[in-house]
A = this chain, B = another copy of it.
Amino acid sequence: MESAFEIIAEPNRRAILTLLVSSQRSVGEIERQLRMPQPTVSKHLRVLREAGFVESTVDAQRRLYRLKPEPLQEVDAWLARFRRFWSAHLDALERHLGRMDQPASTKRNARKRRRGPNRKRDKGETK
């Protein structure tokens, strides 16, 4: 199972995490609010627990599950580099002329603000 990304690939697990973000819940509460069978909930909780996404405390016959931040922070950390990418991505579509070209630096140009869906001469097939 391993990586945090595989854990959150499952929709029901994401739903459980989303539910837990507001407050801790018992298994039964999760079961009712998400309308999924109890064994399913327990199994997903097991996966989440073993991956460090949640932890549980015993409250009489119930078990209260709550979020732990670390694994999702790890995902967040991975995403960080892409945030840098897409903020620098105002019009990278047209800058595709430079494909691995020489390090001869062109003139420093302040960033222009060109907007709009400017797809011209697009031989590309994104299909």
Contacts and interface: CB of A to CB of B under 8 A. Distances in A.
A47 to B, nearest CB: 13
Contacts of A82: 17, 21, 67, 69, 72, 76
A67 B92 CA distance: 10
A117 B24 contact: yes
> What range describes how many residues of A lie at the interface?
35 or more
Interface string A14-42: 10011001011000000000000000000
Given A57-B96, A79-B79, A125-B57, A9 B18 contact: no
A100 interface: yes
A11 interface: yes
